[in-house]
Amino acid sequence: MASATLNQGGGHVGALRLFLTRAIKFGLVLATTLLGLVAVTFFIGRIVPIDPVLAVVGDRAPPAVYDRARKELGLDRPLIEQFVIYVKKAATGDFGNSVLTTNPVMSDILTTFPATLELATLGTLIGTLIGIPLGVLAAVKRGSWIDQLVRLLGLVGYSVPIFWLGLMGLLLFYAKLGWVEGPGRLDVTYSYMYTPVTNIVLLDTLMQGQMDAFWNALSHIALPACLLGYFSLAYISRMTRSFMLNELAQEYVIAARVKGLSEMRVIWRHALRNAAVPLVTVIALSYANLLEGSVLTETVFAWPGLGQYITNSLQNADMNAVLGGTLVIGAVFVLLNLVSDILYHLLDPRTR
């Protein structure tokens, strides 16, 4: 009995030690990756032929004013020293002030990023809920017209520029048919009917019971979210088809059919269950791509998200805002990659 208790205690200690080791490794990988991201973002921002001082004082400022502003911004110091100072401030969430809005960059990001998050999340949900069944159907009906149609939809989603689809969508569904609202996030009439809490309009209006504002916001987001969802669907359906073809060729599927299990159960409960493990990574990467790649969609639909904020800042040589926004998007991308790796290990015991 004592020996069993001792072995059990040793097992708990070993498990705790393994958990701490993995946690430390995870922290080191995350810190190193983010530091590298900060370095790349910072030095690219210093190399590009844009003078942030001119954005502050203007191109007609006297030399004395220019030199004083350059000194106040710390641009007269060695590049390595500037980088160290930037890292210290960025670690506390201080990316400086935006020249364009005069607000702290972090404050602008907290205002604009929820709009991008709302749009990308809805697009990913549409792409996942439609893309996975289409991919499964294409794999089951391999070589049929259904398979060819699904592959064609995916090819079009990859090939056609999303900004062109956005313009055509506005022309057809907004200007001609009037099925959806136009550019923007919410009509001015409804913008004062709710109090921004999370800055996610659909969530805030729904929680506060402002259903008229909710439906108006939903009508505004429907078209851009469907376009991003189509882009996500093209990737998810193709990968689902590939994973399912691999699973349907495995011996356990043949054994399940021999045992007399229904085809629906073999496909949806056994094959898709195993294919869902790598699909987690695919969906996470698709979500990350929508978060950092929705700039053109936000521009076409005048969506006040982080992508449009970075674009406007770049056009106005607002490098603090550009660097801060780029760093936040990069950090989210890195975190989603790491989370997908963790989920992959949790769902598939063979990788542990």
User: 272-293 and 319-347 helices cross at what angle (nearest 10)?
Assistant: 180
Q: What does the pLDDT look like over 241-255, one tens digit per residue?
A: 998 888 888 888 888
Q: What does the pLDDT look like over 116-127, one tens digit per residue?
A: 999 999 999 999
Q: Are residues 291 and 190 in the same domain?
A: yes
Helix (H) or strand (E) holding 281: helix 272-293
Q: Position 223: which residue type?
A: L
Question: Does any domain span residue 90?
Answer: no
Domain with 2 in it = 1-46
Q: Are residues 140 and 263 in the same domain?
A: yes
CA 294 to chain centre: 9
Q: Are residues 140 and 269 in the same domain?
A: yes
Q: What does the pLDDT look like over 48-87, one tens digit per residue?
A: 777 777 777 777 778 888 788 788 777 778 888 888 888 8
- For the entire predicted model, the pTM comes to 0.81
Q: At 272, which CATH number?
A: 1.10.3720.10
Question: Does any domain span residue 134?
Answer: yes
Q: Are residues 13 and 136 in the same domain?
A: no
Question: Does any domain span residue 56?
Answer: no
**DSSP alpha helices (H): ranges in 185-271?**
201-207, 211-248, 251-258, 263-265
pLDDT-derived band at 349 (thresholds 50, 70, 90) equals: low
Residue 306 and residue 41: Cα distance in Å, rounded? 16
Question: Does any domain span residue 78?
Answer: no
Q: Are 46 and 78 in contact (CB under 8 A)?
A: no
